[in-house]
Amino acid sequence: MTRGTVSYIGQRLILIAVTTVLVSSIVFLLLHQIPGNAFLNETRTSPQSLAANLHHYGLDLPLPQQYVNWFTNVLHGNLGESLKNRGVFITPLLIREASVSATVGFFALLITIGLGLILGVIAALRQNTWIDYVASSASVVGYSIPSFVLAIFGLLIAGHYFYIWTGGTLYYVPGWGKIEQIPVPALALGLPYAAYVARLTRASMLETIRTDYVRTAWAKGLKPRVVVIRHALRNALIPVVTILGPLITGIITGSVVIENIFGIPGLGKEFITSILARDYNIVIGVFTFYAALVGLANLAVDVIYPVLDPRIRY
């Protein structure tokens, strides 16, 4: 950690904070342009109770005042209170749900990077053999199939056909809480990106294994494992790391629809549920959370860079 790195990370953190605040402010202002109020759709309420409700949430204040209040609260880590379920505070709710989303996302990322790297490296090392052809065609098809389509196929195969084939002994039940409920959504979320990583790894591995230093490494009589992993792969990884940022954003976005399909109580499900229920406080909260998350993920990727390639310095 040089001083440059520290100040770089500092600058990026400030930029992330600015972005998060800016974007969630836009969402806040957009959602507060909506005519009427959040309680209009409910069963008939007396004017007194409506006024009490509005007052409770500070919605009777002028918009600039509401904005300042919201902003101060966000700076204190308080994202407000659910409009539909009074007494439910959003920050703890989102932290609980984020841990669920993070679990799925972590395994999806593991599949993406693990499977993608392994397939890409093997395809490159065995170029123009059947292994290469199978891996390459799988990835060229795989990266175009959106994760929600894979999720539907996964649900159909793992939930329905497995039940028939195994006579009801081994099959997937949508939901959350058991370990065996993780693989299907994680695969659906991770596979398209794994295909993409495999393609990229193959291309950049093909370039690196033809370089002089890799030939030197072979000539020195190093073990194949050492040559491939320490000499070739480490350098081939650099282009792969560049897409990690968009990839993590993609997994976060993809989790929105995956969680809805598989009934996983994470951030993505909350996001859609609250949009449809018009619980704007939660929508703004989830969004602020997401914006910060995407920024931090991108920062993490940029910090990994110099580790792989010492030529890159901040």
Partner 1 sequence: MAAVAPLPQPELAATYEMPVEQVSLLQDAWNRIRRNRLALVGACIIALLLTTAIVATFWTPYPVWLQAVGPTYQPPSAKHLLGLDQAGRDILSRIMGGATITIQVGVGSAIIVSLIGIPLGLIAGYYRGWVDTAISFFINIWYGIPDLLVALILVFVLSDALHLIPRGVFVIVLAFSLTRWMDVARLVRGQTLALREREFVEAARMSGARNLRIVARHILPNALGPIIVQATFAIPAAVLFEAFLSFLGLGLPSPTPSWGAMAADGYHGMDFAPHIVLAPTIALSITLMAFNWLGDGLRDAFDPRMRH
Q: Does 200 bind partner 1 (CB under 8 A)?
A: no
With respect to partner 1, which residue has the nearer C-beta, 135 or 228? 135
Residue 197 beta carbon to partner 1: minimum distance, rounded to whole angstroms: 15
The two three-digit tokens of residue 239, written as one number: 């282009």
Cα(200)–Cα(89) distance, rounded to whole angstroms?
43
| Residue carrying structure tokens 């990994």 | 304
Cα(14)–Cα(59) distance, rounded to whole angstroms?
30
- Pattern 263-292, binding to partner 1, x per CB under 8 A? --------xx--xx------x---x--xx-
Residue 219 beta carbon to partner 1: minimum distance, rounded to whole angstroms: 30
Cα(8)–Cα(14) distance, rounded to whole angstroms?
10
Q: Does 193 bind partner 1 (CB under 8 A)?
A: no
Q: Which of 297, 188, 301, 183 is nearest to 239 (CA)?
A: 301
Stretch of residues binding partner 1 (CB under 8 A), selected from 73-81, 146-154, 214-222, 229-237: 146-154
Q: Which of 296, 280, 292 is nearest to 70 (CA)?
A: 280
The two three-digit tokens of residue 57, written as one number: 């949430």
Phi, psi angles (nearest 5°) of residue 89? -90, 140
Q: Does 34 bind partner 1 (CB under 8 A)?
A: yes
Q: Does 244 bind partner 1 (CB under 8 A)?
A: no
Q: Does 72 bind partner 1 (CB under 8 A)?
A: no
The two three-digit tokens of residue 68, written as one number: 């300042």
Footprint of partner 1 (CB under 8 A)? 15-16, 18-19, 22-23, 27, 30-31, 33-35, 140-141, 143-146, 148-149, 152-153, 155-156, 160, 249, 252-253, 256-257, 260-261, 271-272, 275-276, 283, 287, 290-291, 294-295, 298
